[in-house]
Amino acid sequence: MTVKACGVDFGTSNSTVGWWRPGQQTLLALEEGKTTLPSVVFFNADEESVAFGRAALAEYLEGYEGRLMRSLKSILGTGLMTGQTEVQGRPLRFLDLLSYFISALKQRAEVSAGRSFEQVVLGRPVFFVDDDAEADRLAERTLGEIARQAGFVDVAFQYEPIAAAFDYESRIQREELVLIVDIGGGTSDFSLLRLSPDRVTKVERLGDILANGGVHIGGTDFDKQLSLRAVMPELGYRTRLRNNAEVPSSYYFNLATWHTINFAYSRKVWSELQGVYADALERDKLDRLFNLISKRAGHWLAIQVEAAKIALSDSDSTLLSLQEIEDGLQHEVLRETFHESIDQLLGNIERTVGGLLQDAQLQAAQVDTLFFTGGSSGVPLLRQRVAAMFPNATVVEGDRYGSIGSGLALDAARRFG
């Protein structure tokens, strides 16, 4: 059976495209033979070109002049959807930026598959925006419009944790009550479903979905909190001015947040910091901040913080190099510091999961399986705290970067054939 539709998992950190074919690999190669394409765009001013994914990160790290944009999905549902930025001296709408990336994703998938795709099932978080139903609907409509601009004719949506459930269901031998725990780059999403090998061919599954929930917390938030707790103090965060007030925190929050890093490079910020510097008590730390901004090294620093977060999954400490900011500068980051920095976020995740059980009118002991997926589900403390809520459940580790895309491809095959 030739399936004409694909599934697209447009992720905050990484994206995949799945095409269901019996007996063959579902996910398509998108870059250098890899099935993931980092959700990154680099506008190379030196070469007057645009790069995506790993190539974009490589050009940025090689020192080319230009503009790096990451965590593109985080724009959806925010005020930035109607805003614009400046790239190579020209205005660029954030919506057009998203369109560039989705178009590149589609084109790469079609080259890999050797065919065109007109139908798509797009993954979406349970909530693009917390506690704002209208903004959430607008975000979905906007993403749908962008997909159509990229060339898709028929566009459907599926919750990302449900897509992951479909992927898991394709391999089980008996009926299970499953909690899908999808911790992505920008959101944490959860679904409680009854899965069974007898139901895998059904298109309509509403009766099997007991509850959905989500919260706007993900891996980029873990990066942000680690940066603010362990790194930004080395650049003057929370240091004092002569009047005993703190150095304004907005500069550091922008630099610690992937999709707002470029805001720190404006002339207005540079001018404001001159005045702050005159009254600062720890100017040596602000010197580092000035070096970071003058070199436009915010994304470089964010990459170092992300690498430190990953390293702390396996080690009690890691050494973070700040060489780009100051010669010879290094900073030891402890796993304990990381855990402290994300404690409140994990508490919010636990409350969201608890609310899911209440919505489904179930007890934790009734859940058979915890299925973890999403790149940020690799944080051991997160898995431990969620698993502790379900002591009787079997823990299953899914493909962190591929389960959703594979499930969306299965869903696309059922819907569009």
Here the CATH number for the domain that contains residue 21 is 3.30.420.40
Q: Is residue 32 part of a domain?
A: yes
Structural domain boundaries, residue 150: 5-173+399-416
Confidence at residue 72, expressed as pLDDT on a 0 to 100 scale: 87
Q: Is residue 344 part of a domain?
A: no
pLDDT less than 70: residues of the chain: 1-2
Q: Is residue 146 part of a domain?
A: yes
* Residue closest to 193 by CA, chosen among 157, 222, 164: 164
Q: Locate 309 and state its tokens.
A: 């977060």
Structural domain count, the chain: 1
Q: Is residue 102 part of a domain?
A: yes
Confidence at residue 358, expressed as pLDDT on a 0 to 100 scale: 95
Confidence at residue 2, expressed as pLDDT on a 0 to 100 scale: 65
Q: Is residue 12 part of a domain?
A: yes
The burial of 199, by beta-carbon neighbours within 10 Å (0-12 exposed, 13-18 middle, 19 or more buried), is given as: middle
Name every residue whose Cβ is closer than 8 Å to that of residue 226 and which is 6 or more positions away in sequence.
305, 308, 309, 333, 337, 338, 341, 342
Name every residue whose Cβ is closer than 8 Å to that of residue 158 and which is 6 or more positions away in sequence.
7, 121, 122, 123, 124, 407, 408, 411
Confidence at residue 389, expressed as pLDDT on a 0 to 100 scale: 97
Q: Is residue 136 part of a domain?
A: yes
Residue type, 245: A
Backbone φ and ψ for 64, nearest 5 degrees, come out as -65, 145
Confidence at residue 1, expressed as pLDDT on a 0 to 100 scale: 54
